[in-house]
Structure 1
């Protein structure tokens, strides 16, 4: 478990700033809370706390809950300050109950959720939104825009949290998370609008109807996350096929991917870039499938055979191009480019080469040297391979990536898991 002493200083300051901002906001505007409506506030609090007690792990980072619909109803029927109080305290209670009482983490999660919902409620009011006039421009449009504010704010706090914790840039991760969750959040607006109208025109107790839809919402979230898992399993199947055809043997692709991801983190690339580079490392030699007869032959590689092998980057890029992320295909295509422009397939030079490809190039070279096989017939020790990589800095490899590679070795024992002669 992370303790306050082990947390990066800017991360600690971020946590304190968010919690203080929520506390100051509550203190300044406490008089705006409609305490006479305490039964309704309590109902919201109980429902939000209960739904947040059952989070679903997100493979990328953090957890996903089914509280979004309730948050949208809350911000549309209560004052912004009431929304801050209820959303923040209820979410903190649910978080602490499901994941354990860690004070700084519990207070941060409650504060960031309270601020996110409060800002969205403020936007809803400024746009003239009201469930008592349930029209498109008077209710649905303000609610939709408020939901975007809530989503953007919540994604900002979460990605900033993990970015500062891991000491990596957060902005691109924030954009990706915002895009990934946009459609699912917008799809919750109709049900939130219906519940808000029932709340206003029928009875607040109609909120309990939300519990009926809760299993279906959890199922939808799990289905979305399972699609990511199926996507990963499909890639793993390709990796098995790659390793079966590759002279370096089983595990080569995974070792390249792990080292490439470690280098990307060492350079402090954003999480989306690290994810793409790891995928690029896994699939960098997918174009080798079917070329095993060239490696099994005892005859030396002649020019036609060598040219055929070089085509694997183009074939691999075509396969990787079927993935949703274009940058993975670019990594696969260009991981044999040299920093000085003498590589293939396009002879790119320096910064013209995608940074992911420059990273995978170093990772693959080190792994191939220590494993033996084409294009390194001799098997080197880890120290010998490191020296070979260092000598090629500025020629075959990006000096910045080589420096990160050497620094990673100096501070990590991960290299001990690679093959030694």
Structure 2
């Protein structure tokens, strides 16, 4: 199924499931609550918390991971502590509607998804809370509050990560971890405000309940700080792009190259399941990988013809120059490391340090491949011809294992295939060997038959030994003693001698041992008639051999 249709199916499934859950809970619980003596107080609480949730959900913020966040968790957590599950779910479903108009600013499928998701995210913990019959202010109730918050966060991240996994092809667990890691402070601060809301809602007067709106001020401040942090993060991302423009402006034909390499590098890093922080570092390293070219003279950097050996040596200094510039800022240490080694080769024949394989930082390996891909798919003064994405990835694939990290090329292939609809050649699965294939090998047939005869002989030998000892001695204890004499060396010498003799060629040793076992076995019946202890000795030696 195409990804857009699968995404829509997921959104509608979660949305309709949540709304259905809301209606069923309402039908079951609401009639008894609305017929009780405190219905007026209940409706007043619902209205106050609904308005507060609606105000808190206005102007949601979009993080750089594409996740929408607001400060609605605070009033909703207060509602969870103040309202029955059905009422809470209505507050969660309706109160989280923001100023985005369905069908215009946000697709209907996402609108329905959000309503159903919020019903599930808050309804399930609320029902669990009530199902255990925890009384307010009791020790168990207080202990359960952090667990309820964890359940809310877990359900929210689960549904959102599922959507992003299907919609963007992202890794589910990595997306869920990023969502939780980027909002952990929110998940601590807002439930505390929510508890204050719950405390204020315990008053019996309408005026006392309206005081809860004073907490909207701190929520506005917190949302403003989130917005400022979001803008600062975006400004920082844009500042790296502006720095790369300094280099790109010197050569009009490379304009946008650094930004494309950065974005492509981040995509490869995410496919390789690197941490969110590392993915961001790789993106910055990709954007700034050519920063050192500002130290290269125009006569060399913009030369349309082939470079002389001396000029090429000067060009080769740009990774070091860029790394030195970035190394002046301690927080860019990892980026500087990526920039320094982005021209190293997998086989160790790159520059400046001749690193090879895993000694090359993973970020440098990624940027190296993405830089090469973008370079050969864009026209340059020294190479006016342009290769298609299919031709470019085929060329890089041929160089995997010499110039480039094969794992990086594999991830880059996936992106190229998805973005430009380039088919990825698949290797035919190796045919698994069957018993028929093995029996076709003469040496294996001999070994198979020999082992079969040997195992059958051992079985018959043990059976014959037991029968013979019972017939001769008429005692079950004698039979048991004989079987013990046979088993002990097998266990003891198998554990001790196995690791030693496996180091040597045992062919002639095995032949000699088999001959010795045959001679000893032939003599067992004679010993049974004349000297019973000799039977046990022979059996012991046979098992040892």
Q: What is the TM-score of this pair, normalised by structure 1? A: 0.75
Structure 1 residues 263 and 122, CA, compared in 2 at 3 Å: closer, same or farther? same
Q: Show the counterpart of 1:9.
A: 6
For residue 158 of structure 1, report the CA deviation from its aligned partner: 1.6
**Paired residue total:** 402
Q: Show the counterpart of 2:285.
A: 280
Q: Show the counterpart of 2:60.
A: 55
- Greater relative contact order: 1 or 2 (C-alpha under 8 angstroms, separation 6 or more)? 1
Structure of greater Rg = 2
For residue 253 of structure 1, report the CA deviation from its aligned partner: 1.0
1:106 equivalenced with 2:98 (yes/no): no
Q: Show the counterpart of 1:173.
A: 175
Distance (whole Å) between structure 2 residues aligned to residue 402 and residue 320 of structure 1: 31
Q: Give SS of 1:148's match.
A: helix
8 A Cα contact 2:247 2:290, kept in partner: yes
For residue 216 of structure 1, report the CA deviation from its aligned partner: 2.7
Distance (whole Å) between structure 1 residues aligned to residue 118 and residue 8 of structure 2: 18
Which of 398, 403, 420 matches 1:396?
Answer: 403
Which of 224, 229, 238 matches 1:224?
Answer: 229
Q: Give SS of 2:343's match.
A: coil
Correspondence list, 1:255-334, <5 A: 255-261=260-266, 272=276, 275-292=280-297, 295=300, 300-301=309-310, 305=314, 308-312=317-321, 314-315=323-324, 318=327, 322-323=331-332, 331-334=338-341
- The gaps in structure 1 that reach 5 residues or longer are 416-421
Which of 199, 202, 207 matches 1:200?
Answer: 202
C-alpha distance after superposition, 1:288-307 (max 9, x if no partner): 44354894598643797477
Structure 1 residues 386 and 146, CA, compared in 2 at 3 Å: closer, same or farther? closer
Q: Which deviates the most, 171-180 or 199-208?
A: 199-208
Correspondence list, 1:7-86, <5 A: 7-9=4-6, 12-13=9-10, 15-17=12-14, 19-20=16-17, 23-24=20-21, 27=24, 30-33=27-30, 34-35=33-34, 36=39, 37-86=42-91
For residue 117 of structure 1, report the CA deviation from its aligned partner: 2.0
8 A Cα contact 2:94 2:115, kept in partner: yes
Q: What is the TM-score of this pair, normalised by structure 2? A: 0.60
8 A Cα contact 2:60 2:68, kept in partner: yes
For residue 111 of structure 1, report the CA deviation from its aligned partner: 1.8
8 A Cα contact 1:336 1:345, kept in partner: yes
Cα RMSD, aligned residues only: 4.3
1:153 equivalenced with 2:155 (yes/no): yes
Distance (whole Å) between structure 2 residues aligned to residue 139 and residue 316 of structure 1: 56
Q: Show the counterpart of 1:336.
A: 343
Q: Which deviates the most, 327-336 or 406-415?
A: 406-415
Structure 1 residues 252 and 21, CA, compared in 2 at 3 Å: closer, same or farther? closer
- The gaps in structure 2 that reach 5 residues or longer are 423-545
For residue 87 of structure 1, report the CA deviation from its aligned partner: 0.9
For residue 280 of structure 1, report the CA deviation from its aligned partner: 2.7
